[in-house]
Amino acid sequence: MVPVVVAATEFVVVTIAHVAVEPPDLRGKTVAVLGLTFKPETDDMRDSPAIPIVSRLAEDGAIVRVNDPEGMDAARPLLPSRVQWCANGLDAAAGADALVLVTEWAEYRALSPAALAGAMRGRVLVDLRNVWDPTAMRHAGFAREQGLGGRAVVEQKDATGVRQARLLQRDGRAAHDAAHLIVGIVVGD
């Protein structure tokens, strides 16, 4: 049984459900991760959910392209060596099958849905901070926009149907579990 994350608020990721799944295979998938620091306007990596998320994506075979306006130097020793370091958000999104927004930097808020869609190969968007308007993202072609922060709840299907919930839990394992959910979204589970 693997914990499935179904909500995230602020820097807290939530674990509430268990679903039996096979380990996903992300070989050949490119995932852009925007924001590595635990909050915008800092290079502080303390308690950053990006560390386990990026590590899990890379562990499961994804090509992970990352960007953070301030935290790349601080993040470099904490992340797998095969991570690709990108100059900006659009550079990270170039050719990506999926994009995960971890930290709500102003420059990421300013990215237009059309520019992201034009840069990416796929149309999977995981917005952990509810930065982008879901309607605008759908109009840009993001059919599987997933909000995990604040206002939204992710639907994770299992053999019994759809489980939805909100529950806050602060623990280091939770961000790793968020990475598992993100992997499921990327591979289409």
Global model pTM greater than 0.85: no
Reference 85, options 102, 64, 101; nearest CA is: 64
- Region 141-170: mean pLDDT is 43
Q: Are strands 124-127 and 161-163 parallel, antiparallel or unpaired?
A: unpaired
- Euclidean distance between CA atoms 166 and 8, whole angstroms: 8
Reference 130, options 117, 141, 140, 145; nearest CA is: 145
H-type helices in the chain, by residue range?
A: 50-59, 72-75, 89-93, 106-109, 113-119, 134-139, 172-187
Residues 6 or more apart whose Cβ sits within 8 Å of residue 77: none
Q: Check residues 43 and 147 and name the one with the higher pLDDT.
A: 43
Q: Check residues 36 and 152 and name the one with the higher pLDDT.
A: 36
Residues 6 or more apart whose Cβ sits within 8 Å of residue 173: 3, 15
User: Could you read off the pLDDT of 40-86 as tens digits, one per residue?
Assistant: 999 999 989 899 889 989 988 999 999 999 999 999 999 999 999 99
Q: Check residues 148 and 65 and name the one with the higher pLDDT.
A: 65
HSE-CB for 40 with a 13 A CA cutoff: 13
pLDDT band for position 25 (cuts 50, 70, 90): confident
Q: Is 26 left (phi over 0), alpha (psi -120 to 50) or beta?
A: alpha
pLDDT band for position 157 (cuts 50, 70, 90): very low
